[in-house]
């Protein structure tokens, strides 16, 4: 029976390889001009201007650009126009799409159809249907905010993010971006806190700009551009890997002899099949108004990246969720499986989602753009100083909002920023702030010109500072890049944390600046005095060196007082620290109850994720890998006996090594099984800590023996597609 199971599994592997190498290429479709397809499936301001009355259009434009409330009468007009527009695109259904605390999207489809008294079918879509939907609030992760016997939840239209048409093989659906809240008014989603955090940041920023003498101040908004990394493997391989299907990562797999050590994949020529997928994928994004700007090969084989242009944070967050959905669906249509797990393959780089974040408005521009003389740009210095203060005070919060079982695999490795939150400013800007701290008038140092000694190349100006890929929070010219966010995560959580810490710091700066100005200091002197306090109290968080260095880790904790939170088990409890609870409560972004619910949800997800992996690891080791090893031993034994009958000497060391590793693996399986059966934990924190340290250590032990067996068992017997196949066969 064991031999039959192994042969069946191996047939899946060899069949997968044969399917891939004989696969007919997907037809290349000539893309339509960008001008023809851009946002053609989006009910944006251009579409509204054509279909709304003048008054309704002006009201919607004001709402979308400033967040002003929309009159219910205008909502009725918008609903009627939106329905007609959607039906002209072939839509028969509409859906309030929302973002529960799962990092995924949720949607419930309703038809435009109703019947009248004559029994005939007509279409209807009123303002009330546009404004409100009602999914079950207790069936989504909610941290005990909703129980089964008190299940009511609401979706509510967010008019600041445009509706759009989602086209699938099953037809077209009008998608309406929405918030998700409980009957008692608590946020059950990721959008409400994001909108609240932006409002808090705007209110605080307006105070600072008014003190700086600005008279016309448009609403401030944060912006986001998220660089999305991902892996593509052939769907035939994925179908033969239970771990990829269930967990999104390989629980077993010996390193490929060739991995990324030649550094030949990064920015290399994109495989033709992948390029066809990218073209199709990006055309779909363009139709949805998502400004995909860059794509390329990433560092690891089989890994790629797509980066959009910047957008307002709320719209960018919606688009990022939509991008992940479209990416996975398009990959499937091209015979790929798109892996967004942060570490799907051991031994090669994992995937992140670098969140580029800035703040600005229509009157003062980007507040994080230093210009050519940052020491003279007082507004920039204040906002940048506010970020420095925020990261120093709330670094543990930033670590907590990127905490997950999957992201723990990559944080701190030589491919991703460490779990210690620090700020990289670059040489030029760091000198400016250190000069301020020292009481000296700061001066800008230019980067100079690049002289290559090649007459055919034009000279170009060098940036005044280098880039630092080891920093988790780096200034990159006119924005900060939060590099530690995981590839599968929603950008909303990080954006909420950054907006909220900035709002708090701007409020503090407004008080300090007003006090300094009241003493008779001019604006420049007042700003410098406030920023000196910022650097004296919070400058320890600024670091421009190697974030991977053990010397930095020791210095950061012992000398600078920064926290090192290596796993989610240590990081997630920071959500409940008094400082974080107070931060969210005083800014109005999350109530203590809402914050507690998020900790409960994320802690539960952490536990469930690891326990799922353990269950699958035990099953695969027992039903796939061990039978393959025994089958191979049986084959070796028969061969040895045949050779011995012919008086041919046999080296039995391979059989001995296989037997030893197989026995050791099953012994480790037994220890892992016993460990996961424990349920006597006083708190969820204790359970997370046990999983993070004890259980994951035992999982590594099982894997080490299984991966050793992969390098010993005959290739035609091994049941699972190997790294060398999955990463390189496209």
Report residue 94 CA to chain centroid gap: 27
Nearest Cα residue to 562 out of 573, 576, 547: 547
Query: Is residue 303 classed as helix, strand or coil in its secondary structure?
Result: strand
Q: Is 664 exposed, middle or buried (0-12, 13-18, 19+ CB in 10 A)?
A: middle
pLDDT at 703: 98
Nearest Cα residue to 482 out of 313, 230, 328: 313
Beta carbons within 10 angstroms of residue 658's beta carbon: 21
Give strand ranges (E) for 256-375: 292-297, 303-308, 311-312, 336-339, 353-361, 365-366
The H or E element spanning position 94 is: strand 91-98
Report residue 12 CA to chain centroid gap: 33
pLDDT at 4: 34
Q: Is 169 exposed, middle or buried (0-12, 13-18, 19+ CB in 10 A)?
A: exposed
Report residue 720 CA to chain centroid gap: 29
Residue ranges of the chain with per-residue pLDDT less than 70 = 1-11, 114-124, 412-415, 442-467
Q: Which residue has the tokens 């509706």?
A: 163
CATH 1.20.120.1560 domain locations along the chain: 2-24+607-726
Output the six-digit token pair for 430.
Answer: 């760091």
Output the six-digit token pair for 24.
Answer: 């007919």
Nearest Cα residue to 232 out of 489, 505, 511, 487: 487
Bridge partners of 222?
359
CATH 3.10.20.70 domain locations along the chain: 34-189
Query: Is residue 199 classed as helix, strand or coil in its secondary structure?
Result: helix
What is the rounded CA–CA span in Å between residue 728 and residue 730?
Answer: 6
Output the six-digit token pair for 97.
Answer: 């799409």
pTM higher than the cut 0.75:
yes
What is the rounded CA–CA span in Å between residue 325 and residue 327?
Answer: 5
What is the rounded CA–CA span in Å between residue 502 and residue 28?
Answer: 47
DSSP per position, 217-283? -PPPEEEEEEEEEEEEEEHHHHHT-HHHHHHSS-S--PPPSSSSTT--STT-PPPHHHHHHHHHHHH
CA dihedral for 318, 324, 329, 333, sign (positive or negative): positive
Q: Is 128 exposed, middle or buried (0-12, 13-18, 19+ CB in 10 A)?
A: exposed
DSSP per position, 369-414? ---S-GGG-HHHHHHHHHHHHHHHHHHHHHHHTT--TTGGGTTTST
Q: What are phi and psi of 628, to 5 degrees?
A: -65, -40
pLDDT at 7: 36
For the stretch 428-483, pLDDT in tens is 899 889 999 988 776 666 555 545 455 555 554 555 556 677 889 999 989 999 99
pLDDT at 452: 45
Nearest Cα residue to 665 out of 624, 724, 606: 624
What is the dotted CATH code of the domain comprising 34-189?
Answer: 3.10.20.70
Beta carbons within 10 angstroms of residue 479's beta carbon: 21
Output the six-digit token pair for 112.
Answer: 């435009």
Nearest Cα residue to 489 out of 338, 287, 353: 353
Output the six-digit token pair for 101.
Answer: 């605390």
Q: How many CA atoms lie within 13 A of 64 on its CB side?
A: 19
Q: Is 458 exposed, middle or buried (0-12, 13-18, 19+ CB in 10 A)?
A: exposed
Output the six-digit token pair for 175.
Answer: 């998608």
What is the rounded CA–CA span in Å between residue 647 and residue 207?
Answer: 93
For the stretch 623-651, pLDDT in tens is 999 999 999 999 999 888 888 888 887 78
Output the six-digit token pair for 201.
Answer: 């940041």
What is the dotted CATH code of the domain comprising 2-24+607-726?
Answer: 1.20.120.1560
Query: Is residue 425 classed as helix, strand or coil in its secondary structure?
Result: coil
What is the rounded CA–CA span in Å between residue 396 and residue 386?
Answer: 17
Bridge partners of 94?
110, 174
């Amino acid at each position: 029976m064991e031999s039959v199971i192994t042969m069946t599994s191996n047939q899946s592997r060899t069949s997968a390889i044969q399917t891939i190498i004989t696969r007919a290429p997907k037809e290349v479709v000539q893309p339509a001009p960008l001008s023809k397809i851009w946002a053609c499936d989006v009910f944006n301001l251009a579409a509204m201007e054509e279909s709304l009355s003048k008054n309704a259009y002006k009201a919607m434009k004001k709402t979308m650009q400033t967040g002003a409330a929309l009159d219910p009468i205008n909502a009725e007009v918008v609903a009627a126009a939106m329905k007609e527009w959607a039906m002209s695109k072939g839509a028969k259904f509409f859906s309030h799409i929302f973002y529960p605390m799962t990092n995924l999207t949720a949607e419930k489809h309703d038809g435009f159809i109703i019947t009248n008294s004559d029994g005939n079918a007509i279409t209807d879509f009123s303002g009330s249907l546009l404004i409100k939907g009602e999914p079950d609030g207790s069936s989504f992760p909610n941290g005990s905010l909703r129980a089964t016997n008190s299940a009511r939840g609401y979706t509510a239209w967010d008019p600041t993010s445009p509706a759009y048409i989602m086209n699938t093989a099953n037809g077209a659906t009008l998608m309406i971006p929405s918030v998700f809240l409980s009957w008692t008014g608590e946020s059950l989603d990721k959008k409400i806190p994001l909108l609240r955090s932006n409002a808090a940041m705007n209110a605080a920023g307006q105070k600072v700009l008014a003190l700086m003498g600005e008279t016309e101040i448009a609403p401030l908004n944060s912006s986001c551009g998220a660089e999305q990394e991902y892996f593509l493997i052939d769907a035939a391989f994925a179908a033969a890997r239970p771990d990829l299907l269930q967990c999104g990562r390989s629980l077993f797999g010996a390193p490929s002899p060739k991995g990324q050590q030649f550094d030949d994949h990064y920015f290399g020529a994109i495989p033709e099949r992948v390029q066809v997928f990218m073209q199709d994928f990006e055309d779909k994004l363009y139709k949805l108004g998502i400004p995909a700007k860059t794509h390329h090969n990433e560092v690891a084989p089989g890994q790629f990246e797509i980066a959009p242009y910047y957008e307002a944070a709320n719209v960018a967050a919606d688009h990022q969720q939509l991008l992940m959905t479209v990416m996975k669906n398009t990959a499937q249509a091209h015979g790929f499986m798109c892996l967004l797990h942060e570490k799907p393959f051991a031994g090669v780089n994992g995937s992140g989602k670098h969140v580029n974040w800035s703040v600005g408005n229509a009157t003062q521009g980007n507040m994080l753009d230093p210009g050519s003389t940052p020491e003279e740009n007082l507004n920039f210095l204040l906002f940048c100083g506010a970020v420095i203060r925020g990261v120093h005070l709330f670094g543990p919060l930033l670590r907590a909002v990127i905490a997950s079982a999957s992201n723990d695999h990559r944080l701190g490795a030589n491919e991703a920023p460490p779990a210690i939150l620090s700020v990289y400013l670059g040489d030029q800007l760091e000198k400016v702030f250190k000069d301020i701290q020292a009481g000296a008038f700061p001066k800008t140092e230019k980067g100079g010109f690049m002289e290559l000694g090649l007459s055919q190349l034009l000279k170009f100006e060098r940036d005044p500072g280098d880039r630092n890929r080891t920093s988790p929070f780096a200034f990159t010219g006119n924005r900060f890049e939060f590099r530690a966010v995981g590839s599968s995560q929603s950008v909303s959580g990080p954006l909420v944390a950054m907006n909220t810490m900035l709002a708090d710091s701007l409020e503090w700066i407004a008080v300090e600046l007003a006090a300094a100005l009241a003493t008779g200091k001019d604006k420049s002197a007042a700003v410098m005095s406030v920023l000196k306090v910022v650097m004296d109290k919070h400058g320890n968080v600024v670091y421009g060196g190697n974030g991977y260095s053990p010397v930095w880790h020791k210095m950061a904790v012992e000398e600078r007082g920064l926290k090192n939170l290596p796993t989610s088990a240590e990081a997630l409890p920071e959500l409940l620290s008094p400082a974080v609870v107070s931060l969210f409560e005083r800014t109005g972004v999350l109530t203590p109850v809402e914050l507690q619910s998020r900790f409960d949800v994320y802690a539960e997800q952490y536990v469930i994720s690891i326990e799922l992996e353990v269950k699958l690891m035990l099953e695969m080791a027992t039903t796939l890998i061990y039978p393959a090893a025994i089958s191979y031993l049986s084959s070796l034994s028969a061969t040895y006996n045949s050779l011995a009958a012919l008086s041919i000497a046999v080296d039995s060391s391979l059989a001995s090594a296989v037997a030893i590793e197989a026995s050791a693996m099953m012994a480790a399986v037994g220890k892992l099984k016993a460990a996961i059966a424990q349920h006597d934990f006083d708190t969820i924190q204790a359970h997370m800590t046990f999983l993070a340290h004890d259980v994951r250590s035992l999982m590594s032990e099982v894997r080490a023996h299984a991966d050793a067996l992969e390098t010993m068992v005959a290739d035609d017997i091994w049941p699972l597609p190997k790294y060398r196949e999955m990463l390189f066969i496209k």
